[in-house]
């Protein structure tokens, strides 16, 4: 359990960061949640005003404070637009950790984060069983998207259209540790939970890219969740456990880069782990800083390190539009590389949607807790995609892919949802 010293340090850091907010309201103009609710408490400025008196407010009305902090997508739109450079997402992550340490985790979240995510053998077994029996509970609804719905589970899942778990997880390939080839580069491949359990074709495409370009690969099957879901819920205990498990398999750093197909996972290595390194030993902090310097998104790696460039599209090229995931563009600055990777496929023509970098409304656990408003935001993204006339929408984040697939499947759209690396890998033999 996170100790009192950690909480006091986080409180002090909040005080230092909050003073930069000028209450200008710029965050209001870009917040996807505020656009739907119109509530000041839902925008960064309103939350920061609350946090100025966090210690007092926690004692006065703990539930109200928690509810207001939880109602945030952590998309980073406010931080990207802030003229004062206030890092609102960093503030909210720390505030959630403080309030959770004060009141404790809910039984459900404790079961998920501490009972499953930090026990990978159990987690993998449960999802393997889910993969085998999911056909008994779901019915296919859209063959292009690959989605299903479940009347039986609708009391729990609502009207969601789901994507299936893979027959076999990516980790079933086994541990990989190959030497660099013609590229002279060796990478660690952190595939992440959703690619491992659901979007295995994304992971297979990445391995195909590495093989084609002569990139050595270190892929340990002992890797676990990056810890962001736990941290977003304020659970420092499971977050730190997960980081330490990953440090055991990646901490030697005997590779040039650590590559992920998920903007959130890349941001975890690059930014979140160094931000939330209190409670770790100095040796662990050194490993965290090392991995932060080596973390890279797969799209950026393909273009910036492997030198992939655009080609002229064929006359009959399919149209693909791009959704820019919040953490990928706003946190990591990766956007142009996605388009270059797609344009390297001559069978694709990139068509831009309006608001490509507007949040899709997923926000991880936000979608689970606030599905109604998550859907309203998601439907706007769906409308932007459909307006382009595209055959495919590409998104460099598995969570965004799930959200977009849900929205388009419910609308009956026949537009494929793909990761950019899948589309680039189609050009490789």
Asked if residue 2 has pLDDT above 60, the reply is no
Q: Is 230 in contact with 117 (CB distance < 8 Å)?
A: yes
**Fold match between domain 4-104 and domain 308-425:** no
Q: Is 341 in contact with 369 (CB distance < 8 Å)?
A: no
pLDDT digits (tens, 9 = 90+) for 183-238: 999 999 999 999 999 999 999 999 999 999 999 999 999 999 999 999 999 999 99
Return the domain boundaries, the chain.
4-104, 308-425
Angle at 327 between CA 354 and CA 368, to 5 degrees: 90
Mean pLDDT over each residue of the chain, to the nearest integer? 92
Question: What's the DSSP call for residue 351?
Answer: -
Q: How far apart are CA 419 and CA 427, in angstroms?
A: 14
Q: What is the pLDDT of residue 290?
A: 98
Asked if residue 138 has pLDDT above 90, the reply is no
Q: How far apart are CA 429 and CA 425, in angstroms?
A: 8
Q: Which fold has domain 308-425?
A: Rossmann fold (3.40.50)
Residue 279, token pair as written in the block? 């409670």
Q: Please list the alpha-helical segments (H only) found in 52-139.
A: 54-60, 62-70, 77-81, 88-103, 107-112, 120-133
* Whether the predicted model's global pTM rises above the 0.85 cut: yes
Q: What is the pLDDT of residue 4?
A: 56
pLDDT digits (tens, 9 = 90+) for 225-260: 999 999 999 999 999 999 999 999 999 999 999 999
Residue 207, token pair as written in the block? 């391995």
For 292-328, give one letter per residue: b (16+ CB within 10 A) or e: bebbbbbbbbbbebbebeeeebeeebebbbbbbbbbb
Q: Is 45 in contact with 102 (CB distance < 8 Å)?
A: no
Asked if residue 7 has pLDDT above 70, the reply is no
* Nearest alpha carbon to residue 272 among 312, 332, 323, 321: 332
CATH of 4-104, one of 1.10.1060, 2.40.50, 1.10.287, 1.10.530: 1.10.1060
pLDDT digits (tens, 9 = 90+) for 124-137: 999 999 899 888 88
Place of tokens 């606030």: 370
Residue 405, token pair as written in the block? 């697939």
Confidence of residue 150 (pLDDT cuts 50, 70, 90): confident
* Nearest alpha carbon to residue 405 among 329, 340, 323, 331: 323
* Three-class secondary structure of residue 125 per DSSP: helix
Residue 199 phi, psi (nearest 5): -95, 60
pLDDT digits (tens, 9 = 90+) for 29-82: 999 999 999 999 899 988 888 777 666 666 677 788 888 888 999 999 999 999
Q: How far apart are CA 204 and CA 170, in angstroms?
A: 8
Most confident of 19-28, 35-44, 334-343: 334-343
pLDDT digits (tens, 9 = 90+) for 299-313: 999 999 999 999 999
Cα 152 to Cα 148, 330, 372: the distances in Å are 12, 39, 20
């Amino acid at each position: 359990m996170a100790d009192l010293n950690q909480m006091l340090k986080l409180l002090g850091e909040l005080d230092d960061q909050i003073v930069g907010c000028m209450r200008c309201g710029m965050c209001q103009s870009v917040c996807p949640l505020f656009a739907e609710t119109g509530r000041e408490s839902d925008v960064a400025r309103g939350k920061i005003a609350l946090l100025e008196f966090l210690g007092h407010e926690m004692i006065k009305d703990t539930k109200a404070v928690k509810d207001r902090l939880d109602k945030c997508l952590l998309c980073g739109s406010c931080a990207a637009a802030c003229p004062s450079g206030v890092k609102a997402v960093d503030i909210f992550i720390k505030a959630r950790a403080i309030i959770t340490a004060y009141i404790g985790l809910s039984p459900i979240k404790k079961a998920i984060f501490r009972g499953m995510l930090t026990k990978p053998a159990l987690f993998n077994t449960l999802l393997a069983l889910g993969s085998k029996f999911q056909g008994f509970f779901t019915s296919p609804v859209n063959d292009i998207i690959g989605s299903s719905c479940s009347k039986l589970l609708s009391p729990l899942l609502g009207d969601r259209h789901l994507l299936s778990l893979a027959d076999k997880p990516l980790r079933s390939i086994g541990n990989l540790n190959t030497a660099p080839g013609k590229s002279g580069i060796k990478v660690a491949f952190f595939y992440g939970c959703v690619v491992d359990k659901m979007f295995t074709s994304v992971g297979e495409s990445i391995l195909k890219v590495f093989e084609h370009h002569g990139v050595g690969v270190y892929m340990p099957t002992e890797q676990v969740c990056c810890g962001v879901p736990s941290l977003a819920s304020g659970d420092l205990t499971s977050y730190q456990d997960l980081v330490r498990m990953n440090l055991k398999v990646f901490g030697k750093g005997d590779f040039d880069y650590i590559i992920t197909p998920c903007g959130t996972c890349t941001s975890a290595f690059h930014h979140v782990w160094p931000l939330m390194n209190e409670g770790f030993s100095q040796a662990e902090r050194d490993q965290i800083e090392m991995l932060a310097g080596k973390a890279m998104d797969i799209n950026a790696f393909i273009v910036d390190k492997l030198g992939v460039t655009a080609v002229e599209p064929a006359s009959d090229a399919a149209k693909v539009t791009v959704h820019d995931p919040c953490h990928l563009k706003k946190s990591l600055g990766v956007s142009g590389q996605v388009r270059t990777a797609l344009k390297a496929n001559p069978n694709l023509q990139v068509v831009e949607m309006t608001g490509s970098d507007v949040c899709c409304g997923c926000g991880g656990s936000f979608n689970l807790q606030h599905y109604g408003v998550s859907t309203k935001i998601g439907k706007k993204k769906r409308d932007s995609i459909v307006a382009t006339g595209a055959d495919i929408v590409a998104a460099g984040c598995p969570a965004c892919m799930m959200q977009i697939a849900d929205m388009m499947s419910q609308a009956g759209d026949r537009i494929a949802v793909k990761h950019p690396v899948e589309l680039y890998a189609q050009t490789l033999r």
